[in-house]
Amino acid sequence: MSYGALTLVVLGAGFIGGLLSWLVRRKVRVETLRRHHEIGTAVSMQLGVVFAVLLAFVFNEVWSEYLSAARSIEHEAASLHTISLLAQSLPPPPRAAIDGAISRYAEKVATEEWVTMTRNHHSDAARDALVELWRAVMQAPAPTPGTADTRPQLLSLLERVHAMRELRLTTARTDVPGVLWTLLLCFTAAMVGALLWFGVEYVWSQVAFVAGFVACLAFALALVHMLDRPFEGALRIGPERFEAVARMVAHTP
Protein backbone atom coordinates (compact mmCIF):
# COMPACT_ATOMS: atom_id res chain seq x y z
CA MET A 1 0.00 0.00 0.00
CA SER A 2 1.45 3.36 -1.04
CA TYR A 3 1.19 6.56 0.97
CA GLY A 4 -1.37 7.82 -1.54
CA ALA A 5 -3.53 4.71 -1.05
CA LEU A 6 -3.13 5.05 2.72
CA THR A 7 -4.35 8.65 2.58
CA LEU A 8 -7.36 7.64 0.48
CA VAL A 9 -8.23 4.79 2.87
CA VAL A 10 -8.04 7.01 5.95
CA LEU A 11 -9.97 9.90 4.39
CA GLY A 12 -12.51 7.56 2.82
CA ALA A 13 -13.12 5.74 6.10
CA GLY A 14 -13.51 9.06 7.92
CA PHE A 15 -15.97 10.30 5.29
CA ILE A 16 -18.07 7.12 5.49
CA GLY A 17 -18.09 7.27 9.28
CA GLY A 18 -19.19 10.90 9.25
CA LEU A 19 -21.84 10.18 6.63
CA LEU A 20 -23.29 7.30 8.65
CA SER A 21 -23.40 9.49 11.73
CA TRP A 22 -25.21 12.23 9.82
CA LEU A 23 -27.74 9.75 8.41
CA VAL A 24 -28.49 8.34 11.86
CA ARG A 25 -29.03 11.81 13.25
CA ARG A 26 -31.42 12.58 10.39
CA LYS A 27 -33.52 9.49 11.13
CA VAL A 28 -33.34 9.35 14.93
CA ARG A 29 -34.01 12.17 17.37
CA VAL A 30 -31.22 13.12 19.78
CA GLU A 31 -33.49 12.42 22.78
CA THR A 32 -33.91 8.84 21.59
CA LEU A 33 -30.15 8.42 21.17
CA ARG A 34 -29.48 9.72 24.67
CA ARG A 35 -31.56 6.90 26.14
CA HIS A 36 -28.86 4.49 24.98
CA HIS A 37 -26.06 6.28 26.85
CA GLU A 38 -26.22 4.23 30.03
CA ILE A 39 -25.81 0.83 28.43
CA GLY A 40 -24.00 2.17 25.36
CA THR A 41 -21.20 3.69 27.41
CA ALA A 42 -20.52 0.42 29.24
CA VAL A 43 -20.59 -1.61 26.04
CA SER A 44 -18.34 0.77 24.10
CA MET A 45 -15.81 0.88 26.94
CA GLN A 46 -15.59 -2.91 27.10
CA LEU A 47 -15.27 -3.16 23.33
CA GLY A 48 -12.57 -0.50 23.36
CA VAL A 49 -10.50 -2.31 26.00
CA VAL A 50 -10.66 -5.66 24.22
CA PHE A 51 -9.92 -4.05 20.84
CA ALA A 52 -6.96 -2.11 22.25
CA VAL A 53 -5.42 -5.28 23.71
CA LEU A 54 -5.99 -7.22 20.48
CA LEU A 55 -4.59 -4.44 18.30
CA ALA A 56 -1.55 -4.04 20.54
CA PHE A 57 -0.84 -7.77 20.30
CA VAL A 58 -1.15 -7.81 16.50
CA PHE A 59 0.90 -4.62 16.08
CA ASN A 60 3.67 -5.98 18.30
CA GLU A 61 3.83 -9.18 16.24
CA VAL A 62 3.95 -7.50 12.83
CA TRP A 63 6.47 -4.91 14.03
CA SER A 64 8.71 -7.67 15.44
CA GLU A 65 8.53 -9.56 12.14
CA TYR A 66 9.27 -6.39 10.20
CA LEU A 67 12.41 -5.74 12.28
CA SER A 68 13.38 -9.41 12.02
CA ALA A 69 13.18 -9.19 8.23
CA ALA A 70 15.34 -6.05 8.18
CA ARG A 71 17.96 -7.61 10.46
CA SER A 72 18.08 -10.87 8.48
CA ILE A 73 18.81 -8.88 5.32
CA GLU A 74 21.61 -6.96 7.01
CA HIS A 75 23.20 -10.13 8.41
CA GLU A 76 22.86 -12.01 5.11
CA ALA A 77 24.44 -9.21 3.08
CA ALA A 78 27.20 -8.61 5.66
CA SER A 79 28.07 -12.32 5.69
CA LEU A 80 28.33 -12.35 1.88
CA HIS A 81 30.68 -9.37 1.97
CA THR A 82 32.81 -10.99 4.68
CA ILE A 83 33.08 -14.18 2.61
CA SER A 84 34.40 -12.10 -0.27
CA LEU A 85 36.98 -10.45 2.00
CA LEU A 86 38.17 -13.77 3.43
CA ALA A 87 38.41 -15.25 -0.06
CA GLN A 88 41.13 -12.71 -0.87
CA SER A 89 43.58 -14.98 0.94
CA LEU A 90 42.94 -17.77 -1.58
CA PRO A 91 44.73 -18.25 -4.93
CA PRO A 92 43.25 -16.29 -7.87
CA PRO A 93 41.16 -19.09 -9.50
CA PRO A 94 39.11 -20.13 -6.40
CA ARG A 95 38.92 -16.51 -5.26
CA ALA A 96 37.43 -15.47 -8.61
CA ALA A 97 34.99 -18.40 -8.48
CA ILE A 98 33.76 -17.41 -5.00
CA ASP A 99 33.47 -13.72 -5.89
CA GLY A 100 31.59 -14.55 -9.07
CA ALA A 101 29.18 -16.80 -7.18
CA ILE A 102 28.57 -14.11 -4.55
CA SER A 103 27.91 -11.52 -7.22
CA ARG A 104 25.46 -13.76 -9.07
CA TYR A 105 23.61 -14.69 -5.90
CA ALA A 106 23.29 -11.08 -4.75
CA GLU A 107 22.04 -10.02 -8.19
CA LYS A 108 19.48 -12.84 -8.34
CA VAL A 109 18.18 -11.95 -4.90
CA ALA A 110 17.91 -8.25 -5.74
CA THR A 111 16.35 -8.63 -9.19
CA GLU A 112 14.29 -11.83 -8.99
CA GLU A 113 13.73 -13.02 -5.44
CA TRP A 114 12.54 -9.62 -4.22
CA VAL A 115 9.72 -9.85 -6.75
CA THR A 116 8.79 -13.44 -5.92
CA MET A 117 8.74 -12.68 -2.17
CA THR A 118 5.78 -10.34 -2.71
CA ARG A 119 3.92 -13.45 -3.94
CA ASN A 120 5.09 -15.54 -0.96
CA HIS A 121 7.53 -17.56 -3.07
CA HIS A 122 11.28 -17.92 -3.44
CA SER A 123 13.44 -17.66 -6.54
CA ASP A 124 14.82 -20.88 -7.97
CA ALA A 125 17.58 -18.89 -9.67
CA ALA A 126 18.67 -17.39 -6.33
CA ARG A 127 18.62 -20.83 -4.72
CA ASP A 128 20.76 -22.27 -7.50
CA ALA A 129 23.20 -19.36 -7.18
CA LEU A 130 23.54 -20.08 -3.45
CA VAL A 131 24.23 -23.75 -4.20
CA GLU A 132 26.90 -22.62 -6.67
CA LEU A 133 28.47 -20.50 -3.93
CA TRP A 134 28.55 -23.50 -1.59
CA ARG A 135 30.33 -25.54 -4.27
CA ALA A 136 32.86 -22.80 -4.89
CA VAL A 137 33.73 -22.63 -1.19
CA MET A 138 33.85 -26.41 -0.78
CA GLN A 139 36.23 -26.69 -3.74
CA ALA A 140 38.67 -24.14 -2.32
CA PRO A 141 42.16 -25.68 -2.06
CA ALA A 142 43.79 -26.56 1.24
CA PRO A 143 46.12 -23.86 2.60
CA THR A 144 49.79 -24.06 1.89
CA PRO A 145 52.23 -24.47 4.82
CA GLY A 146 52.53 -21.28 6.80
CA THR A 147 49.18 -19.81 5.71
CA ALA A 148 45.92 -19.71 7.67
CA ASP A 149 43.04 -22.03 6.79
CA THR A 150 40.03 -19.81 6.10
CA ARG A 151 37.70 -22.58 4.97
CA PRO A 152 36.07 -23.17 8.40
CA GLN A 153 35.27 -19.46 8.62
CA LEU A 154 33.91 -19.42 5.08
CA LEU A 155 31.67 -22.39 5.77
CA SER A 156 30.43 -20.85 9.01
CA LEU A 157 29.55 -17.64 7.19
CA LEU A 158 27.79 -19.62 4.45
CA GLU A 159 25.69 -21.36 7.09
CA ARG A 160 24.72 -17.93 8.39
CA VAL A 161 23.81 -16.76 4.87
CA HIS A 162 21.58 -19.79 4.44
CA ALA A 163 19.92 -19.31 7.85
CA MET A 164 19.28 -15.61 7.24
CA ARG A 165 17.86 -16.34 3.78
CA GLU A 166 15.43 -18.86 5.27
CA LEU A 167 14.40 -16.33 7.91
CA ARG A 168 13.87 -13.67 5.22
CA LEU A 169 11.71 -16.02 3.14
CA THR A 170 9.75 -17.17 6.19
CA THR A 171 9.00 -13.56 7.08
CA ALA A 172 7.78 -12.93 3.54
CA ARG A 173 5.43 -15.92 3.72
CA THR A 174 4.06 -15.17 7.19
CA ASP A 175 0.93 -13.00 7.23
CA VAL A 176 -1.62 -12.09 9.86
CA PRO A 177 -4.19 -14.93 9.71
CA GLY A 178 -7.46 -14.14 7.99
CA VAL A 179 -9.47 -15.06 11.07
CA LEU A 180 -7.53 -12.47 13.07
CA TRP A 181 -8.25 -9.80 10.44
CA THR A 182 -11.93 -10.79 10.61
CA LEU A 183 -11.90 -10.37 14.38
CA LEU A 184 -10.26 -6.94 14.13
CA LEU A 185 -12.78 -5.77 11.53
CA CYS A 186 -15.71 -7.09 13.56
CA PHE A 187 -14.54 -5.21 16.64
CA THR A 188 -14.05 -2.10 14.54
CA ALA A 189 -17.58 -2.34 13.14
CA ALA A 190 -19.03 -2.96 16.61
CA MET A 191 -17.23 0.05 18.10
CA VAL A 192 -18.32 2.35 15.27
CA GLY A 193 -21.87 1.03 15.50
CA ALA A 194 -21.99 1.71 19.22
CA LEU A 195 -20.62 5.20 18.65
CA LEU A 196 -23.34 6.01 16.11
CA TRP A 197 -26.00 5.56 18.77
CA PHE A 198 -24.63 8.24 21.07
CA GLY A 199 -26.47 11.53 21.04
CA VAL A 200 -24.53 14.80 21.01
CA GLU A 201 -26.54 18.00 21.02
CA TYR A 202 -24.81 19.49 17.99
CA VAL A 203 -25.07 17.32 14.89
CA TRP A 204 -21.87 18.44 13.24
CA SER A 205 -19.88 17.95 16.43
CA GLN A 206 -20.96 14.31 16.49
CA VAL A 207 -20.29 13.90 12.78
CA ALA A 208 -16.77 15.31 13.17
CA PHE A 209 -16.07 13.12 16.21
CA VAL A 210 -17.24 9.92 14.52
CA ALA A 211 -15.35 10.77 11.32
CA GLY A 212 -12.11 11.36 13.24
CA PHE A 213 -12.57 8.20 15.29
CA VAL A 214 -13.18 6.01 12.23
CA ALA A 215 -10.25 7.60 10.38
CA CYS A 216 -7.91 6.79 13.28
CA LEU A 217 -9.12 3.19 13.37
CA ALA A 218 -8.59 2.89 9.62
CA PHE A 219 -5.09 4.36 9.94
CA ALA A 220 -4.18 1.82 12.66
CA LEU A 221 -5.46 -1.16 10.66
CA ALA A 222 -3.80 0.07 7.46
CA LEU A 223 -0.49 0.43 9.30
CA VAL A 224 -0.76 -3.16 10.54
CA HIS A 225 -1.35 -4.28 6.94
CA MET A 226 1.67 -2.33 5.68
CA LEU A 227 3.98 -3.75 8.35
CA ASP A 228 2.63 -7.23 7.63
CA ARG A 229 3.96 -6.87 4.05
CA PRO A 230 7.61 -5.86 4.61
CA PHE A 231 8.69 -6.30 0.98
CA GLU A 232 6.03 -4.20 -0.73
CA GLY A 233 4.26 -0.88 -0.37
CA ALA A 234 5.38 2.39 1.17
CA LEU A 235 7.23 0.69 4.06
CA ARG A 236 8.96 -1.73 1.70
CA ILE A 237 12.38 -3.04 2.68
CA GLY A 238 14.38 -2.79 -0.52
CA PRO A 239 17.24 -4.92 -1.92
CA GLU A 240 19.79 -2.11 -1.73
CA ARG A 241 22.11 -4.07 0.59
CA PHE A 242 22.41 -6.92 -1.92
CA GLU A 243 22.92 -4.49 -4.78
CA ALA A 244 25.72 -2.86 -2.78
CA VAL A 245 27.34 -6.27 -2.12
CA ALA A 246 27.23 -7.11 -5.84
CA ARG A 247 28.91 -3.78 -6.67
CA MET A 248 31.60 -4.15 -3.99
CA VAL A 249 32.45 -7.70 -5.05
CA ALA A 250 32.57 -6.69 -8.72
CA HIS A 251 35.12 -3.95 -7.90
CA THR A 252 37.28 -6.15 -5.68
CA PRO A 253 40.73 -6.39 -7.25
The model's pLDDT over 175-216, given as tens digits with 9 standing for 90+, comes to: 888 898 898 898 888 888 877 777 677 777 778 888 888 899
Domain-embedded: residue 39: yes
| CA nearest neighbour of 235 among 75, 5, 58 | 5
Structure confidence at residue 138 as a pLDDT band (50, 70, 90): confident
Confidence band for 75, pLDDT divided at 50, 70 and 90? very high
| Residue 212 domain-assigned (yes or no) | no
Between 90 and 145, the more confident residue is 90
Tell me, what's the pLDDT at 147? 59
Max CA distance (Å), the chain: 95
**pLDDT grade for 153, boundaries at 50, 70 and 90:** confident
Are the CB atoms for 14 and 179 separated by under 8 Å?
no
Does 224 reside within a domain? yes
Specify if 92 maps to a domain: yes
Domain membership of residue 148 as a residue range: 3-204+219-250
pLDDT-above-70 percentage for the chain = 91
142 touches 54 (CB < 8 A): no
- The per-residue pLDDT for 155 is 85
Mean pLDDT, residues 218-240 taken together: 88
AA letter at 51: F
Give the pLDDT confidence score for residue 4 in this predicted structure.
86
Q: Residue 211 falls within a domain, yes or no?
A: no
DSSP alpha helix (H) spans, the chain: 3-27, 30-34, 37-86, 92-108, 114-117, 124-138, 151-173, 178-196, 203-228, 240-250
Q: Other CB atoms closer than 10 Å to residue 104's CB: what's the count?
A: 19
Domain for residue 175, yes or no? yes
CB 120 within 8 A of CB 250: no
The residue among 16, 39, 5, 1 whose CA lies nearest residue 188 is 16
pLDDT at residue 114 in the model? 86
d(CA 27, CA 193): 15
**Looking at the predicted structure, is the pLDDT value of residue 144 above 70?**
no
- Under the banding of pLDDT at 50, 70 and 90, the label for residue 5 is confident
73 or 174: which leads in pLDDT: 73
Q: Is 213 within a domain?
A: no
Report the domain count for the chain: 1
Q: What is the pLDDT of residue 35?
A: 67
Q: Confidence band (pLDDT; 50, 70, 90) for 28?
A: confident
> What is the average pLDDT across 87-99?
82
Instruction: Judge whether 55 lies within some domain.
Output: yes
- The conformation of residue 143, written as its DSSP 8-state character, comes to P
